[in-house]
Structure 1
Amino acid sequence: MVTSGGVSVTLRGEAVEETETVLQRLVSDGVPGALAARNASLWGPDAMDEASRRLGWLDLAETSRPLVGPLNELAAEYRAEGLDHFVLAGMGGSSLAPEVITRTAGAELTVLDTTDPHQVERVIADRLERTVVVVASKSGGTVETDSHRRIFEQAFREAGITGDALKRRFVVITDPGSPLENSARQAGYHVVLADPDVGGRYSALSAFGLVPSALAGVDVGLLLDEAAEFSSALRQTYDNPGLTLGAALGAASAGGHDKLLLADAGSGIVGFGDWAEQLIAESTGKEGKGVLPVVLEGVEAPGFAPAPDARGAVLGEFDASAITVRGPLGAQFLLWEYATAVAGRVLGVNPFDQPDVQEAKDNTGALLKAAEEGGAAALTAGEPDLVSGSVEIHAGGALKADTLPEALDELIALVPDHGYLAVMAYLDRTGDDAGAAALRGLLAARSERARGGPAHVTFGWGPRFLHSTGQYHKGGPQNGVFLQLTGVVERDVPVPGRPYGFGTLQLAQAVGDLRALRSRGRPAVRLHLRDRSEGLAQLLDALEN
């Protein structure tokens, strides 16, 4: 066990031996001191330019402190005006950290990180008269976030909220000089500039994590206190929990244990696995390498059993995993960011770029243009290979099944040894489609029975996973099989100022990502639900029975 700054990291079993050699090498190479000094050469000459602009997260416990007072004042002003419902429009690193922070603190924050028209319409209709929208985009050009801003602007105006009252309804977080900063200032919105030297997935303790959380009522100063207390431990050569965890992640992956099973055992931190998943997968999954986080429902969930290609990591009190991590949330953010950067060094990859994400975005743009010119029919992925009740199966010839259960079993059989099955649901994650999340455990259990051993199944909601595990899917090891879920849109919601609706955008993102996966030779099957409720029930029944 390594304990320092209120954080402990405990390694057990094979993880101890495989980590020790790597840890000694990191120490002899002077990595702790170099990282404390923000030495951008740690990840090799090709990564130096990017790394030199992405190490500001190391100092956020101090540099974010000036935000606390003004944010508390702004939150108090809003509540005095009767504005107490806060909606966060952001993707990936701009939404996952605030979601963890507020859920852990028990504060209400509505996170809008989807293009599903049913979910968007429901959020727009919820307490609009009391709503403030936090628009968060580092680049200022995120298509989902731009679409959310547009529809909220329209909704406010239609409700008679205009002029200065409208200006008060938006808080914008972005990098200095971004297109969003310029347009937000012209509109008169409240703008908070983020640190440009902090990448999106390392931004938990920056304005992206703190602004929406503080407005929702969280004591973000306490988060920074927790991180500050721990930060000195990261400058230590020995008894450095971040260095130990990073060495363990990197050594395990380099040694063939490239799945990290993430579960919680009473830590009190809610939803941390989803945040850690995007940090680790997008940072390490490239050049055919990487650590694949598999977020589990708990330590008893299907898929947590020991496996030759996996290491279990648990937050909380649990003595039957390779890695156990304890510590407060503010410190945990910093710990895992540091460990991920160290793991990148061990694996020989740049942990600050995402080179394989753009293709899916380009495909989406091309599909939207085609839909504008030729109608929604241009978005179809061809005729289904099989129709079973309310479920269409688009397999691109990869399956020969005659029934839905047979198709699922064939898909499972495609997963290679030491591979994984990724479920990607372009559905409504907070409404009637929320039950789709049960597919991870059901598929893991069915896979384990069929294969006679542990099976690794991940689950992601689209399009938000495109801003996290989407990089690993395309740039990581070529051992993934992909199951995509889409569903019929009962009533599309137009995106103001754009020639398409949210449903069209959602389908373009799904089909665009499917094409990106198949272009890389990844087996990818799309199940389209002709009726979402019936189709999902049919799919769950096929797995349960």
Structure 2
Amino acid sequence: MTIAIHSSGDAKKAIQTVVPQLVKDLVASGITAQDPALWGPAAEAEAAKRLGWTEAVSISRPLVAEVEALRAQFLELGIDHFVLAGMGGSSLAPEVITRTLGVELTILDSTDPGQIRSALADRLETTVLIASSKSGGTLETDSQRRAYEKAFRAADIDPTERIVIVTDPGSPLQALATDAGYRTFLADPNVGGRYSALTAFGLVPSGLAGANVGELLDEADAISLNLAEDGDENFGLILGAAIAGTQPLRTKLGIVADGTHVVGFGDWVEQLIAESTGKDGKGLLPVVLDVNSPELAENLPDLQVVRLVRDAHEFHLREKHPGEVLLSGSLGALFLTWEYAAAVAGRLLGIDPFDQPDVESAKEAARGLLDDRPEPTAPAFVDGGVEVRGTLDSLTAPGTVAGAVDALLAQLPSDGYLAITAYVDRVALAQLAELRDLLAARSGRPVTFGWGPRFLHSTGQYHKGGPAVGVFLQITADTTDDLDIPDRPFTFGQLIQAQAAGDAGVLAQHGRPVLRLNLTDASADVPALVAALR
């Protein structure tokens, strides 16, 4: 199976109108030929070094045998537990690949000390850590690697036998790995992180964990000719037109998993589309939904739904969903098709789909807070065990958590969205995700949910650089059992608090309303918070 798409309503009109012009402009063949001029003069310098993903299938082929051989070596030694330390593009694709193909890979994309402790305590004797960072300087990944190095040494395990590095050539992480003697896989430097699913960043962790990454490349290869050809049947052009060519533009993109065999694909699409398009006050906001999400019953004029199904043709015959896009396909084909569609969407929106100018702002703010260590601001009030702070006095005036949330929702414009960002242990406090549907039903508007700090490497770009129509509910938690970061002057608990505070500060600078709820006793406060907002 490669790809099947069915469309109706505004999406179908956009395809009929936009695709012929894309074909006339030779956009598909231009992307494949890595023509950096397709997105205008301002984007040309960045695009010139970010189009290597179009040839990822051929470049990545030699990796398959290398990864399989290394996995076999580990298994022969009884080492069979694989942990991935990575953020954004370095973790989202491996998470989708391994979950879809049914192999175990522990994803460590958090700085929450509880989540780090739990990972370190899980089968350390038989664990391999894969530290993955394109820049080689990702603070979260560096901190996680340091923690594992210390834990391995404490257990009389040689870290050089248990740590695998994935990075770009010439990065600080490559230099460190060379000095330390770590096994290293170098990725194509001409591929941005969010387009890296079919490169070493997606394939090495997944293959070591046991996924058949050769088959994944075969699936992508099967669709590559279609995506390269300038024709009306090009699935990348069709999908790009459907999501970015409607008139008027539907600026919210609902991704619904409805019978697809692919697990967690919406989270990967979320980063690809939000970070590629959310800039210059423009963009498409992906909203990851399920079949019962409230937004689907609202008939929102600015929400374009893409429904991921097992068979788009069969689904269309079985059930009508006017205005939606039905999409099915193999995982490798879906990865490559969406990458083409994101590049097409950038051209249609008039932005550079390969840069991320606002991602660094929250990182810089967090680093500043770690350096200065200011005293935390006093909460406006405390309701139960929840400390409440807000960037606007009107948000805290009600004096209760429920009232403050109502005040935040009252700030939502008619074309706005609510972003819930939770800087907590996403494994232990998974119940917090229930707030997404609860507040979508109450607000009648699209609601996104992101675990911090991982979303800073994806939708964080859209929050600051996209349309200024978002309001933000930030959730943090007191640290009860902190964890040192070896050879760093701060702890994991201090790091995640600085990341949350830095993010809130940058949002406030951009004029975005932020309500911050800090849980002083997370195990008790989470059920109470969900109940109060229900």
Structure 1 position 41, deviation (Å): 0.3
| Structure-1 separation of matches of 2:10 and 2:83 | 45
Q: Confirm or deny: 8 A CA contact 1:390 1:538 kept in the other structure.
A: no
2:174 pairs with 1:184: no
Contact 1:379 / 1:508 at 8 angstroms: preserved in 2? no
Offset, 1:19? 3.1
CA–CA distance in 1 between the matches of 2:388 and 2:16? 48
What letter corresponds to residue 412 of structure 1 in structure 2? L
- Superposed CA deviations along residues 349-408 of structure 1, whole A, max 9, x for unmatched, are 00000001111111011100012xxxxxx252x221221001111013241212221111
Contact 1:134-1:170 within 8 A present in 2 as well: yes
Unaligned regions of 5+ residues in structure 2, if any? none
* 1:250 pairs with 2:237: no
Are 2:425 and 1:428 aligned? yes
Q: Structure 2 residue aligned with 1:525, among 491, 497, 515?
A: 515
Per-residue CA distance 1:50-72 (angstroms, 9 max, x = gap)? 10111110111111001001111
Deviations 1:253-312 (A, max 9, x none): x6231000101111110000000000000000000000000001x222221232101111
Cα distance in 2, alignment partners of residues 386 and 331 from structure 1: 51
What residue in structure 2 maps to residue 411 of structure 1? 408
Which residue in 2 is equivalent to 1:452? none
| 1:275 has 2:268 as partner | yes
| Structure 2 residue 468 is the aligned partner of structure 1 residue 478 | yes
Structure 1 position 15 matched with structure 2 position 11: yes
Provide the C-alpha distance between the structure 2 equivalents of 1:50 and 1:108, rounded to a whole number of angstroms. 36
Q: Secondary structure at the match of 2:245?
A: helix
Instruction: Tell me whether 513-522 or 403-412 shows the greater mean CA deviation.
Output: 403-412
Q: 1:322 aligns with which of 317, 321, 324?
A: 324
Q: Which residue number corresponds to residue 122 of structure 1?
A: 118
Map 1:359-438 to 2 at 5 A.
359-371=361-373, 378=374, 380=376, 382-396=377-391, 397-399=393-395, 400-431=397-428, 433-438=429-434
**Identity over aligned residues, as a percent?**
53
SS in 2 for 1:95: helix
Answering whether residue 231 of structure 2 is matched by residue 266 of structure 1, we say no
1:494 aligns with 2:484: yes
CA deviations on 1:84-129 (whole Å, 9 max, x unpaired) are 0000000000000000000011100000000000000010111100
* Cα-Cα RMSD: 1.1
Partner SS for 2:296: coil
Please tell me whether the aligned partners of residues 485 and 527 of structure 1 are also in contact (alpha carbons under 8 angstroms). yes
| Letter matched to residue 210 of structure 1 | L
Instruction: Find the counterpart in structure 2 of residue 77 from structure 1.
Output: 73
Amino acid at match of 1:178: S
Q: Distance in 1 between matches of 2:265 and 2:55?
A: 21
SS in 2 for 1:304: helix
The Cα of 1:345 is off from its aligned counterpart by 0.4
Q: Quick one: which of 107, 115, 129 aligns to 1:111? A: 107
Question: Which residue in 2 is equivalent to 1:94?
Answer: 90
Code of the residue aligned with 1:104 in structure 2: it is T
Q: Cα deviation per residue 1:326-359 (whole Å; 9 max; x = unaligned)?
A: 1000010001011000000000100000001111
Which residue of the partner structure matches residue 152 of structure 2? 156
Could you tell me how far apart the structure 1 residues matched to 2:477 and 2:410 are?
A: 25
Q: Which residue of 2 aligns with 1:134?
A: 130
Letter in 1 for 2:265: F
- The answer (yes or no) to whether the contact 2:167–2:185 under 8 Å persists in 1 is yes
Question: Does the CA contact (< 8 Å) of 2:405 and 2:515 recur in 1?
Answer: no
Count, aligned residues: 521
Given that 2:167 and 2:186 are in contact with CA atoms closer than 8 Å, whether structure 1 keeps it comes out as yes
What SS does the aligned partner of 2:366 have?
helix
C-alpha contact 1:422 1:483 (8 A) present in aligned 2:
yes
What residue identity is the alignment partner of 2:369? L
TM-score, normalisation: structure 1: 0.94
Where does structure 1 lack aligned partners over 5 or more consecutive residues? 372-377, 449-454
Query: What is the letter of the counterpart of residue 304 of structure 1?
Result: L
The answer as to whether partners of 2:60 and 2:198 remain within 8 angstroms in 1 is yes
Residue 505 of structure 1: SS of its match in structure 2?
A: helix
Looking at structure 2, the residues matched to 307 and 178 of structure 1 have their Cα atoms a distance apart, in angstroms, of: 45
Partner of 1:111, secondary structure, is: strand
Letter in structure 1 aligned against 2:38? L
